[in-house]
Structure 1
Amino acid sequence: MTQALPLSVPEKAAQALRVLITDGEVSPGDKLPEADLAERLGVSRNTLREVFRLLARERLVEHVPNRGVFVSRPGLPEVFDVFRVRQLIEPEAIAGAAPGHPSLERMRDCVLRARAAAEADDWRAVGTADVTFHEAVIALADSPILADLYRSLAAQLRLMFGLIGSPRYMHEQYIDRNEQIVGLIQRGDSASAAQEMRAYLHDAQEQIVNAYVSGRVSSV
């Protein structure tokens, strides 16, 4: 197996900022002040500008002339694009999964963390557990390339969730469905688990689209 090359300083900092987005610590539309963020990430402002260029290519940040750099606000075209890619990779990762794959333990742990967070009424933490669940789904494919791709998709998803503004609305119904998918894979029925994921992603896309169309997503 080819060993991954070490990340450069800008790539490491971009990864750290991507995690802040995925964990919901920065929100769509937030301004990213250079001085404060450079200090937080432990990089120079020149390096931070390279970080912004890297994440702009992933559509996670955008530069507004004379105003600065802001966290992106994805629109409906991005919703459709992200879910089209998810439909291509997540069900296929599940379809090829073995019942004893080590990533299943991560998926089970995410379900448990989501349930505990829901009981504590911490719906942002439920969202984080759900994003991590899907990262574990991708890990079933044993593909570093897909894992890198999904990290960018996960950050874009979190921005969509942030625009909707209600983590409970977005995540509550999927805790049980995540558990169902884990159970199907454990029982050796990966085909049914993949089919459930296809339906799951369809429903999640519809839910987000409906939120955009109905006005849950603000235009400012």
Structure 2
Amino acid sequence: MLKGCECIIIFTDSMAVARRSVDLSVHTGQAYSLAVCKALSEWFSGGGDRSLEFIGTLSKLEWGIHHQAHLASRSLPPIPAGRRPATSPDSVHKHITQTALDSWATRYQDNEYRGSQFLVMHKTKGNIIAPMYANGGSWLKLVGEDTRLCTRMCRAILNHAPIGEYYRRFNIQEDYSCTHGAERQTREHIFTRCPDLNTRRRTPKLLNELLGFLQQNPTAFGFCSAPEGIG
């Protein structure tokens, strides 16, 4: 540290790294954080008014001295990750997560695990949509914050919906037929033949097709309204 220095201002294009540099919790690179905090602790103990400030600055702006420092740091050899980088917390976490995702994707191909009533959806290029949890998951991210649409989409995909087919499968004492006379109100009937709805030629295979159908038919896979005077 420079003698007489009372304030340290660091311009950085990565605030996440700046926060990690003074984070004493268990994480990859903790040894470097401990070294930084030790040096800062000694410096802070030298005066009550000393301060440290991080300021985010985008590298693409190529701002003066910050850009020079950026180029200088990029020219330096990389900092070694340690003797056994594969056992760092981040690496172990990444390995465990990937293993779980691989197992999930494999088991999802098994109809018994997925469920015989599950409506398999495809991407626009024809590949089956595989389960994932990141960025909102494989199905839910497309419905945004529309709770009603999300609920009806889940009912349609799982075939757990207030329709005749579901009532019959679980022996629920409700009418199994469609309001227009079809003997069984099945999911396929709702998608392709129900006179009450804007139907399709086939059961949707693409998730966008399913959402389009639900948006055009706001009552599909929803509960009927209570009779007048009730609720």
Provide TM-score, normalisation by structure 1. Answer: 0.25
**Greater length-normalized contact order (CA 8 Å, ≥ 6 residues apart):** 1
**Larger Cα-atom Rg:** 2
Structure with a larger share of its residues in helix: 1
Provide TM-score, normalisation by structure 2. Answer: 0.24
